[in-house]
Amino acid sequence: METSTIISIVAIVISLFTLGVHLLKYLHTVPKLEVSVLDAFVFQVIKGEDRYGKPYRMIIELTLVNKSEQPISIYEYQFVSKEFDRPVFYRGHHRPGNKYTISKIGSEEASIDFEQFKDLKPPINLSPYSSEYGTIIFLTIPNLYTSEKEIDGVLTVRTSRKDYSIPVKGRRSDFIKGTELMQ
């Protein structure tokens, strides 16, 4: 074997080794955010503490897990559904209320109190290999174009490194025992 052939083979082996090292490093630093939707529901506001004049709110309970070596920053949530006029967003400037009255049956009021839940309002900064649990609330839903008990849609979590889309089924809270309370 000639010297030039041996040098070429050694160069190829070294190049393949270097490529393997860089590929492994890339795979460890690629963004890996796991988004789990634990629960989701839509309700019509009878009385609330926020400044938004839209009649509906959507709450999604999430677990966010950063499975990469790099931090990930979430700057926006978006929900798209054919039952809404247009996509709705939850951004850092939104200010949800602490309590909402969602139905009234006779003298009884059903309400939701958000002080017990962690608000995952953007920006959310997830350290490497960390997780967060909490809720997000979409505040500007003007109309619902369905009388079904569930709303199908897609939640998009926008991060500094990549966007993640997750299918979501949201229950409607304005249905009790199969009958519609409000419309």
16-49: per-residue pLDDT in tens?
999 999 998 888 778 899 999 999 988 887 776 7
Give the rounded distance of the alpha carbon of 160 from its chain centre: 14
What would the pLDDT profile of 6-16 be if each residue is shown by its tens digit?
999 999 999 99
Q: CB–CB of 94/135 below 8 Å? A: no
pTM over 0.85: no
Confidence (pLDDT) at 88: 93
To which residue do tokens 């990549």 refer?
A: 162
Residue 176: the pLDDT is 44
The DSSP output letter for 93 is T
Buried/exposed 49-66: b ≥16 CB within 10 Å, e otherwise: ebebeeebbbbbbbebbb
pLDDT of residue 172: 83
Regions of the chain short of the pLDDT cut 50: 176-183
What pLDDT, on the 0 to 100 scale, is given for residue 106? Answer: 57
pLDDT at residue 103, as a whole number? 64
Residue 36 sits at the vertex; the CA angle it makes with 35 and 42, to the nearest 5 degrees, is 110
Q: In the prediction, which pLDDT does 105 show?
A: 56
pLDDT at 174: 63
3-state secondary structure of 40: strand
